Amino acid sequence: MNDVVKPVELSGRCLCGAVTVTATVTNPILRACHCEMCQQQTSSVFVNIQTDQDSTNVNGPIKIYKSSDWAERAFCEVCGSTLWYGTAHDGARNLAAGLFENAGGAKMALAYFTDQCPQGYALSGDHEKLTRQQTLAKFAPDQGEKK
């Protein structure tokens, strides 16, 4: 019996198609961020898909905005589509779920900064929900805000 989970290769693209992306996904989960920076960048909530480490390939006219000393946000230079939220210390790219059809078939697993979500909407579902304080404790127990 073979119970090994097989990685799935996903292909995606931005709104205009100038940027194409491929990634391998073994554990297809979605993570949402309600922080103020993600609200400003995406108009609501940034949802990304967990991809296998170093499996992402992104090609096309990419612009990178360094949003802090430790993070960057990338977007298509032509159409402005959000591409990823990346962290400097490990080079991780959290790819926008919307680049992939049906969000890669992944399920919402985790939401960050839930107490900063605007009062007018919320994500339903039984995913794990972390407040700002819980989010910061998870990523930067000693250093404060890590966005």
Q: Is the dihedral of CA 85, 124, 112, 27 positive or negative?
A: negative
Q: Which is nearer to Zn ion, 49 or 74 (CB)?
A: 74
Distance CA 144, CA 147 (A): 9
- Please count the other Cβ atoms lying within 10 Å of the Cβ belonging to residue 119: 5
> Which is closer to Zn ion, CB of 14 or CB of 58?
14
Nearer to Zn ion, 49 or 76 (CB): 76
Stretch that binds Zn ion, among 7-15, 92-100, 102-110, 117-125 (CB under 5 A): 7-15
Among 29, 78, 92, 109, binds Zn ion (CB under 5 A): 78
Q: Is 122 in the site for Zn ion (CB under 5 A)?
A: no
Give dist(CA 123, CA 38) in Å, integer.
Answer: 15
Confirm or reject binding of residue 79 to Zn ion (CB under 5 A): yes
Amino acid letter for position 141: P
Is residue 76 a contact point for Zn ion (CB under 5 A)? Answer: yes
- Closest to Zn ion by CB, 79 vs 140, is 79
Q: What are phi and psi of 58, to 5 degrees?
A: -125, 130
Q: What is the distance between the alpha carbons of residues 79 and 81, in angstroms, rounded to a whole number?
A: 6
| Tokens linked to 21 | 């992306």
Does 14 participate in binding Zn ion (rule CB under 5 A)? yes
The stretch among 42-50, 68-76, 106-114, 115-123 that binds Zn ion (CB under 5 A) is 68-76
- Binding site residues, Zn ion, CB under 5 A: 14, 16, 18, 76, 78-79
